Amino acid sequence: MVKLISILGSTGSIGRTSLRIIKKKKFLNLIFFLLIKIIV
């Protein structure tokens, strides 16, 4: 448990940035999907 917390602590900033990237990807996919819906 302690090891897991220390791993999370060391990769906290990396985790946050990757979450941001994932959110951006989801947002871009949503826009892309909406554009396809409008075109089709």
Residue 26 to residue 30: CA distance in whole angstroms: 6
Domain boundaries, the chain: 2-39
Half-sphere exposure (CA, 13 Å, Cβ side) for 21?
6
Average pLDDT of the chain to the nearest whole number? 79
Q: What mean pLDDT do residues 2-31 have?
A: 77
Judged against a pLDDT cut of 70, whether residue 31 lies above it is answered with yes
3-class DSSP assignment, residue 1? coil
Q: Which residues contact 15 (CB under 8 A, 6 or more apart)?
A: 8
Q: How far is it, in rounded angstroms, from Cα 9 to Cα 37?
A: 42
CA distance 4 to 8: 6
Average pLDDT over residues 6-16: 69
Which pTM was predicted?
A: 0.48
Report the pLDDT value the prediction gives residue 5, as an integer from 0 to 100: 64
